[in-house]
Each structure stands twice: as C-alpha cells, then as structure tokens.
Amino acid sequence: MKQTKRRPVKKAVPSAGRRASGLKAAPSVLERALNGRTILVTGGAGFIGSNFIRMMLAEYPGLRVINLDKLTYAGNLENLADVSCDPRHKFIHGDIRDAALVAGCFERVQGVVHFAAETHVDRSIVDAGEFVLTDVFGTYILLEALRKAPGVEFFVHISTDEVYGSREKGFFRETDSLNPSSPYAASKVGADRMVQAYHTTYGAPTIILRPSNNYGPYQHPEKFIPLFTTHALEGRTLPLYGKGRNVRDWLHVEDNCRAIECLIRRGRLGEVYNVGANDERTNIEVARRIVKLTGASKDLIKFVPDRLGHDTRYAVNINKIKALRWKRKVDFEEGLEATVRWYMDNRAWWTRIKEKNAAFKSFYESYYKDRK
Ligand code: NAD
Ligand code: TYD
C-alpha cells in the first residue's frame, strides 16, 4: 500500500466526514468559495458536463476550469463552442484512466466534479465492458489521485438515481439500499460505493449526487427525448419500448447543474444527495407531447420490443438537497418546449451526429433492427 497524505478515518461513519479522522468537524453548511479557484471537470464535453461548465463560467468570473475528456462517441467539443476561446477554460484531451495525467491535473486544482462515464443503458445491455472500465475503474483512478492530493478540497461525484433500481410507489431516500437493474446502473453503483469507501477509509473530501433523468440542450441523440425529437423532425418512426408505461422523473439540466453548484458551495463532505424534479411522466405521455411540439404525426409512435430489464419507475426523495436551499426552477412543460425548440434551431448539431458519427450509426442500425 502506498503512503498517502490524507489521514485514514478510524471507523466507518459515513456521514461524519473528517470528524471521524480526528480533524475539525465540517460545519453542517459550509460555504465554499469558487471565485479565484480552479476546478477539474471530467467528461465536460458531454451533455451535463458542457452545460455545467457554461453555467459556472458565466456565474463565476474568477473561476477557472480544466476539462478532461476522452471525446468518446458521446463527447463533442461543439457542445462548448461558445466558451472555446475563454481563457478560463482549458480543455485536455485524455482518459480518466491515465493515472499520470490525472495526478498532474489534481495538482493544479482545488476541486473536482466527476461526470465522465459511459452512460447509455441500451449500450450497456449489448456490451458492459467499457462501463466497468470507465465508470468503475476510471473512478478508482481519480480517487487514488484524490487521496494523494491534499490541495483538493472537494470531489463531487455524479452518480444517478438508477443505483436504487425501480419502485412502483414511494420515493428512495439516500440511505436506502442499492439494487441496480442494468449493467450501466451496476457500474454506477460500483463507482458510487468506491467514492463512499474512499471517504470512509481515507477521509477523502467527497460528495455524491444522485440525479434523476436529465433533459435539455446538447443531449446526445441516442437518449429518449433527443432521439424522439430529432426523429419526429425527420419524420422517422419513434420506437417506444414495451407499452410506453415506464415512468421517469425529468429534471432540466440547468436545475441539475444548479444542484451541483449548491453541493460544491454548501454540501456536506461524506454525504449523498438525491436530486430530481418530482414531476413524473410516462414515456407515452412524453412521446405524445414531443409529437405535438414538433408538429409531427402521432402515427410515428410505434410500440417496439421492450428493453431487457427495463426499470418501471425511478423516484427519489429530495428533502435533503432542498434543506441546502436547492429548488427546481424549470417546469417540465416549459422545459420540454424550450428543449424541442433548441433541437429545431440546432439541426446542424444533431444532424452531424446522426449522419456522421459511426458509433451512433452502427449501434442504432443493429440495436433498432427489430425496433423500427
Ligand atoms: P454523456 O454520455 O453525454 O457524456 C459523457 C462524457 O464523458 C463524454 O464527453 C465522454 O467523452 C466522456 N468520457 C467517457 N469516458 C471517458 C474517459 N474514460 N475519460 C474521459 N472522459 C470520458 O453523459 P451525461 O448524460 O452528460 O452524464 C454525465 C454524468 O451524469 C454521468 O456520470 C452519468 O452517469 C450521470 N447522470 C446522467 C443522467 C442523464 O440523464 N444524462 C442522469 C443521472 C446521472
Ligand atoms: P433513456 O433516455 O435511455 O434514459 P434511462 O434509460 O437512463 O432512463 O430512456 C428513458 C426512457 O425512455 C426509458 O424508460 C427507456 C425509454 N426509451 C424508449 O422507449 N425508446 C428509446 O428508443 C429510448 C432510447 C428510450
């Protein structure tokens, strides 16, 4: 075992933070400053990461961001075109599994927000290998760097509500047991629990966020809302899995980014926080709404063979993050309308992905072969 600079905690007290290591107890609400700081964002060329970087640079003139992204099929520098010339944003093309590169990044920053992951459930059903390698092993590499970097004051890990699995009624609390269904969700559980273990064992300054389904601008067209919106605009069939009765709690990406900002500033180290909109919709409701907003024919909606292990419903209790003064701002009806408008106005962005991205095209052709 290598020497580390962080002091290990004596026993497992997940919520006690650095108190357990004999260090001064973290106040229940700690206001961390952001201006004048540099943060590392992993996966910042993806959907949520790029929205987060844009929002943070706009809100904190004194903040610098290092964005480490491998640019997999899901990463896209066009998502950050408007901040590409901003000297406060430095992009590094690299893999979170590259320990030397990661260690160098950690030396230069005071905080980390970790988004990088393989994220598409359907892809994980076809082949889970990259999910284990990036989501679990990649997170482990970051955590090893974290415990050797005393200058890093916080590490916000973006987990998911999918770690809890599905439930018909009620809402999961942060203390509920984890019961993932898909290989994607299982890989996120691996990462989530490694993060907590590094807090418990080494006193690493971690905070975990478990958000519900996000939607908004720059979401990859492989995901439900952008796939259906762009297909509807192209007059293509909208492949609705099963009976379309599965329920998701759609959270606008800006509200999620504000939740991350809230945790950086006021979240308690060592804690887990759920976030969601508590505004549930069945998939068929969302599909009908998209058809209406795009002016497409409702006949485009086609029921197709279900996703394997398809979770019926995700739902999280959000009282804990609300106590930190986070509140959803975007109503789903308005947020969906604005999102559909964004896809209408940014046709070139998604056409390039759908027509030129070989990884997207080949996956779509084979996965949806019997679903078109
Ligand atoms: P995304 O797929 O749009 O982006 C992922 C980004 O990570 C891409 O830019 C990709 O290039 C990068 N990446 C992948 N592997 C990498 C590696 N090995 N090294 C460096 N970069 C790598 O994902 P997203 O929707 O923006 O999700 C971001 C995070 O939020 C993920 O951890 C995801 O599990 C979580 N999350 C997403 C949602 C959602 O609805 N989108 C909901 C809850 C949680
Ligand atoms: P998705 O955007 O993949 O997110 P997640 O699986 O992480 O919730 O899917 C959202 C819902 O939409 C989910 O219940 C599956 C469904 N869905 C379809 O019905 N058809 C599709 O082509 C896709 C991609 C998703």
pLDDT in tens, 104-149: 999 999 999 999 999 999 999 999 999 999 999 999 999 999 999 9
φ/ψ (deg, to 5) at 61: -60, -25
Pick the atom of ligand 1 nearest to 188's CA.
Answer: 34
Look at residue 311 in the predicted model and tell me its pLDDT.
98
Q: Is 162 a catalytic residue?
A: yes
**Taking 90 as the threshold, does the pLDDT of residue 33 lie above it?**
no
- In whole angstroms, give the CA distance from residue 236 to residue 228: 9
pLDDT greater than 90 at residue 26: no
C-alpha to C-alpha distance for 44 and 59, rounded to whole angstroms: 17
| Ligand 2 binding pocket includes 241 (Cβ within 6 Å) | yes
Are 118 and 183 in contact by the 8 Å Cβ rule? The answer is no
Where exactly are the structural domains of the chain?
19-215+252-275
Ligand 1 touching residue 264 (CB < 6 A): no
| Lowest mean pLDDT segment, chosen from 96-100, 336-340, 367-371 | 367-371
Q: Residue 101's pLDDT band (boundaries 50, 70, 90)?
A: very high
The whole model's pTM is what?
0.94
Ligand that comes closest to the CA of residue 220: 1
222 is catalytic: no
Contacts of residue 159, defined as CB under 8 A and 6 or more positions apart, other chains included, come to 188, 191, 192, 195, 208, 209, 210, 211, 272
C-beta of residue 253 within 8 angstroms of C-beta of residue 277: no
Judge residue 204's burial from the number of C-beta atoms within 10 Å of its C-beta, 0-12 exposed, 13-18 middle, 19 or more buried. Answer: buried
Identify whether the C-beta of residue 165 lies closer than 8 Å to the C-beta of residue 22. Answer: no
Give the ligand at the shortest distance from the Cα of 276. Answer: 1
72-91 per-position pLDDT tens digit: 999 999 999 999 999 999 99
- Considering the candidates 73, 140, 184, 273, report the single residue annotated as catalytic: 184
Q: Ligand 2 in contact with 224 (CB < 6 A)?
A: yes
d(CA 96, CA 94): 7
Distance 271 CA to ligand 2 centre (A): 29
Cα dihedral sign for 285, 289, 290, 292? positive
240 in contact with ligand 2, CB cutoff 6 A: yes
Note the pLDDT tens digit of each residue in 230-239: 999 999 999 9
What is d(CA 308, CA 122) in angstroms, rounded to the nearest whole number? 9
- Any idea which ligand is nearest the CA of 47? 1
Q: What percent of the chain has pLDDT over 90?
A: 89
Pocket-testing residue among 40, 42, 47, 124, ligand 1, by greatest number of atoms within 8 A of Cβ: 47
**Dihedral sign of CA atoms 338, 339, 343, 346 in order:** positive
Was domain 19-215+252-275 assigned CATH 3.40.50.720? yes
Residue 372's pLDDT band (cuts 50, 70, 90): confident
State the pLDDT at residue 35. Answer: 87
- pLDDT tens digit sequence for 303-318: 999 999 999 999 999 9
Q: Whose CA is nearest to atom 25 of ligand 1?
A: 47
CA 82 to ligand 1 center in whole angstroms: 20
Q: Say if ligand 1 is within 6 A of residue 195 CB.
A: no
- Give the model's pLDDT for residue 31: 73
Both tokens of 42, joined, read: 């992993």
Closest CA to 289 of 240, 347, 331, 333: 333
